[in-house]
Chains A and B, each alone.
Chain A
Amino acid sequence: MYYIGIDVGSACSKYAVIDEQNEVLYRNVIPTGWSSSSAAEAVRQDLLLRGYNPEHNPCVATGYGRNSVEFADKAVTEITCHCLGASHLFGDGASTVIDIGGQDTKIINISGGIVQDFLMNDKCSAGTGRFVEIMAKILELDPMSLCALAESGTEVTISSMCTVFAESEVIGLIGRGVKKADIAFGIVDSVASKVASQCGRIKRSTRYYLTGGLCECRYLMKVLGDKLGVCIVSNPEGRYAGALGAALSAKKLEKGGRTDG
């Protein structure tokens, strides 16, 4: 028996298959594109190709498009799934999971594999993956190389919290001939500030983990950690935390019988 978790995010769809021992048998990521149901279908095709049948095995969907995965047995929110996935990846002691997603950023306090409290950013995209992506595009970079470049920059501050205004701020900086690295520095700093202030609104913990698409940006983790006065830990598998968590909750599903909702 194996268990499938599918995390349909606003930018990417991540999915993972685990076995009884929680070993990851397969995992992958594809762009979500404009339609979450087409993304779900693409995931299904790929799983079938690899020999995993999501219709005959426990399957949980999560993420912003969780309700578009018609073949899943259950939809569980990304908050619960990131909690389960992070507990699996990093251990289940009391900690805070920061998930910088494509469309929203979530701060989740967990303990013993259970969500204690959580916060999500409001309607705006400041401090999310989307913000970094848009800024990177203006600099003709991808988000990862923007983060890497930022490390050698200094001093620039992006003061607008709104993505649209920040965009014109960045264009202004380019026009004034400010170095790319310095602009990148300002962008990473702005994201980290926004996320740090969000973290300040929830009870502090001693351990912080970063999940989501930016979990490999070492420099972002460093800046964010400095602002919070803690050390932030991640793992290249961090972007699969939601999908892993969904697969783990598919296991519970089987034990307790399939439920809907």
Chain B
Amino acid sequence: MDDYLKLPETFEEFSEARKNGFIRVKKIKEEGGLIAGVFCTYTPLEILDAAGLTAVGLCGMSNETIPAAESELPKNLCPLIKSSYGFALSDKCPYTYFSDIIIGETTCDGKKKMYELLGEIKDTYIIQLPQGQDRAYSAELWTKELRRLIRTLEEKFGVEITDEKLRSAVCLRNDERKAKTELMELSRLQPPPLRGLDLYKVLEGSGFVFDIAASAEAMQSTKRKALEKYEAGDRPVSKNAKRILVTGCPIGGVLEKTVGTIESSGGVVVCFENCGGVKATRELADAEADDIVQEISRRYLNIGCAIMTPNQNRVNLIRSLVDEYHIDGVVEILLQACHPYTVEAHTIRRLSSEIGMPYLGIETDYSNTDTGQLSTRIEAFMEML
């Protein structure tokens, strides 16, 4: 048992993190701790931290629960939404099961309406997220929403969310984000010292460590070790590998057939722009700001997700990442029936051609029926670079 409570040390252990996290979550519960299930990068984690809640990502990444979800949800819906709901419906995800509250946001329509149904199974609180960043009152609305969330959590769990607690939560989260950013920035090296698949697993696994300071430390030590090996001449990636920027929808559920295929066809993913990668970690909040809630609100509202309109922040981010990471090609991963990203794909394709970047958009779902077609597309793209 104690073994499972150890922090992951190697890439393989990080990919086991989600599994081992179950035991950690169970322990937290046994010790009287509270769990908040979250789905989205817009969730203001610092507020949950300050309330003493342990935040756990519930995004469904497996095809397994989709048939259950389809008994209530339409077939033609994003697999992430169906999978997540299926987990709640079939009680197959211990994280969902252990959650004392689920926090959702009004992001895409599918998720928003799924949360309504989820609310009938689990206690769910939906934060109203503005749909754009360019109106001054969007920031105001979002800040008000965060204050409302604070009051709700205080009342519900009988806790006090003070400014001090928020500030120290901001510091801790900043440290973790910085550690992740530094780890990701290793891949600016040519060739990178990490394969994208390994990097992604470490980043993903960190979400199941639950001790934010420890997670930051684990990131730092992973970075140190990778760098040491690299400096000692260890090159896990060929210098001829094509350097790929991955963008688009969250990719946890399609990792092998997308990133795995890119990396077995002569490419290496050096940068993940998606949630789970740079998008979620790049911006920090100022722990010294006068109004800390307003500052947290600012930090989160600026995230460049396709559910925003306009979504200039994503375009700007991709532009700079392409330079920073010496990118050879952009691969956008689109989950079937995700309207925000599949429509915005046109903008990203255009952006890519503007900046002279080859672009490949791949639409896929959590099933394995399209692996052959996907590998043809990805291999052809690699041959083209």
Contact status A104-B380, CB under 8 Å: no
Q: Taking the complex as formed, is B182 at the interface, i.e. its CB lies under 8 A from any CB of chain A?
A: no
Contact status A120-B384, CB under 8 Å: no
Neighbouring A residues of B266 by C-beta, 8 Å: 261
Neighbouring B residues of A118 by C-beta, 8 Å: 380-381, 384
A77-B379, A80-B383 given; A117·B358 CB < 8 A: yes
| Interface residue from A64, A115, A116 paired with B376 (Cβ < 8 Å) | A64
Neighbouring A residues of B383 by C-beta, 8 Å: 76-77, 79-80, 115
Contact status B369-A115, CB under 8 Å: no
Contact status B358-A77, CB under 8 Å: no
Question: How many angstroms from the CA of A117 to the CA of B381 in the assembled complex?
Answer: 8
Contact status A120-B373, CB under 8 Å: yes
Question: How many angstroms from the CA of A104 to the CA of B375 in the assembled complex?
Answer: 14
Interface size of A by CB at 8 A reads 17
Question: How many angstroms from the CA of A115 to the CA of B380 in the assembled complex?
Answer: 9
B56 to chain A, nearest CB (A): 34
| A104-120 vs B, Cβ < 8 Å mask (1 yes, 0 no) | 10000000001111101
| Interface residue from A64, A79, A261 paired with B384 (Cβ < 8 Å) | A79
Contact status B373-A115, CB under 8 Å: no
Question: How many angstroms from the CA of A210 to the CA of B358 in the assembled complex?
Answer: 24
Contact status B376-A120, CB under 8 Å: yes
Contact status B376-A77, CB under 8 Å: yes
Contact status B363-A80, CB under 8 Å: no
Question: How many angstroms from the CA of A76 to the CA of B372 in the assembled complex?
Answer: 14
Q: Taking the complex as formed, is A255 at the interface, i.e. its CB lies under 8 A from any CB of chain B?
A: no
| A63-100 vs B, Cβ < 8 Å mask (1 yes, 0 no) | 01000000000001111100000000000000000000
Question: How many angstroms from the CA of A104 to the CA of B370 in the assembled complex?
Answer: 12
Q: Taking the complex as formed, is B165 at the interface, i.e. its CB lies under 8 A from any CB of chain A?
A: no
Q: Taking the complex as formed, is B282 at the interface, i.e. its CB lies under 8 A from any CB of chain A?
A: no
Neighbouring B residues of A78 by C-beta, 8 Å: 376, 380
Contact status A123-B370, CB under 8 Å: yes
Neighbouring B residues of A80 by C-beta, 8 Å: 380, 383-384
Question: How many angstroms from the CA of A117 to the CA of B359 in the assembled complex?
Answer: 8
Contact size class for B? 10 to 19
Neighbouring B residues of A104 by C-beta, 8 Å: 373
Question: How many angstroms from the CA of A172 to the CA of B304 in the assembled complex?
Answer: 50
Q: Taking the complex as formed, is B312 at the interface, i.e. its CB lies under 8 A from any CB of chain A?
A: no
A77-B379, A79-B383, A261-B266 given; A123·B372 CB < 8 A: no
B residues 285-327 in Cβ contact with A at 8 Å:
none
Q: Taking the complex as formed, is B43 at the interface, i.e. its CB lies under 8 A from any CB of chain A?
A: no
Q: Taking the complex as formed, is B188 at the interface, i.e. its CB lies under 8 A from any CB of chain A?
A: no
Question: How many angstroms from the CA of A118 to the CA of B384 in the assembled complex?
Answer: 9
A residues 117-169 in Cβ contact with B at 8 Å:
117-118, 120, 122-123
A70 to chain B, nearest CB (A): 17
Contact status A64-B372, CB under 8 Å: yes
Q: Taking the complex as formed, is B265 at the interface, i.e. its CB lies under 8 A from any CB of chain A?
A: yes
Question: How many angstroms from the CA of A70 to the CA of B358 in the assembled complex?
Answer: 31
Question: How many angstroms from the CA of A167 to the CA of B13 in the assembled complex?
Answer: 51
B355 to chain A, nearest CB (A): 14
Q: Taking the complex as formed, is B178 at the interface, i.e. its CB lies under 8 A from any CB of chain A?
A: no
Question: How many angstroms from the CA of A261 to the CA of B379 in the assembled complex?
Answer: 10
Neighbouring A residues of B265 by C-beta, 8 Å: 261
Neighbouring B residues of A122 by C-beta, 8 Å: 363, 373
Q: Taking the complex as formed, is B144 at the interface, i.e. its CB lies under 8 A from any CB of chain A?
A: no
Question: How many angstroms from the CA of A59 to the CA of B9 in the assembled complex?
Answer: 45
Question: How many angstroms from the CA of A77 to the CA of B379 in the assembled complex?
Answer: 7
Contact status B372-A120, CB under 8 Å: no
| B342-385 vs A, Cβ < 8 Å mask (1 yes, 0 no) | 00000000000100001100010000011011001101110110
Neighbouring A residues of B372 by C-beta, 8 Å: 64
Contact status A123-B376, CB under 8 Å: no
Neighbouring A residues of B376 by C-beta, 8 Å: 64, 77-79, 120
Beta-carbon nearest neighbor of B353 in chain A:
A203
Question: How many angstroms from the CA of A120 to the CA of B373 in the assembled complex?
Answer: 9
Question: How many angstroms from the CA of A168 to the CA of B266 in the assembled complex?
Answer: 44
Neighbouring B residues of A64 by C-beta, 8 Å: 372, 376
Neighbouring A residues of B373 by C-beta, 8 Å: 104, 120, 122-123
| A169-199 vs B, Cβ < 8 Å mask (1 yes, 0 no) | 0000000000000000000000000000000
B156 to chain A, nearest CB (A): 45
Neighbouring A residues of B358 by C-beta, 8 Å: 117
Question: How many angstroms from the CA of A114 to the CA of B358 in the assembled complex?
Answer: 13
Question: How many angstroms from the CA of A64 to the CA of B380 in the assembled complex?
Answer: 12
A249 to chain B, nearest CB (A): 9
Question: How many angstroms from the CA of A123 to the CA of B363 in the assembled complex?
Answer: 10
Question: How many angstroms from the CA of A122 to the CA of B358 in the assembled complex?
Answer: 20
Question: How many angstroms from the CA of A76 to the CA of B265 in the assembled complex?
Answer: 11
30 contacts between A and B (CB under 8 A): A64-B372, A76-B383, A77-B376, A77-B379, A77-B380, A77-B383, A78-B376, A78-B380, A79-B376, A79-B380, A104-B373, A114-B384, A115-B380, A115-B383, A115-B384, A116-B384, A117-B359, A117-B384, A118-B380, A118-B381, A120-B373, A120-B376, A120-B377, A122-B363, A122-B373, A123-B370, A123-B373, A203-B353, A261-B265, A261-B266
Enumerate chain B interface residues (CB-CB to A < 8 A): 265-266, 353, 358-359, 363, 369-370, 372-373, 376-377, 379-381, 383-384
Enumerate chain A interface residues (CB-CB to B < 8 A): 64, 76-80, 104, 114-118, 120, 122-123, 203, 261
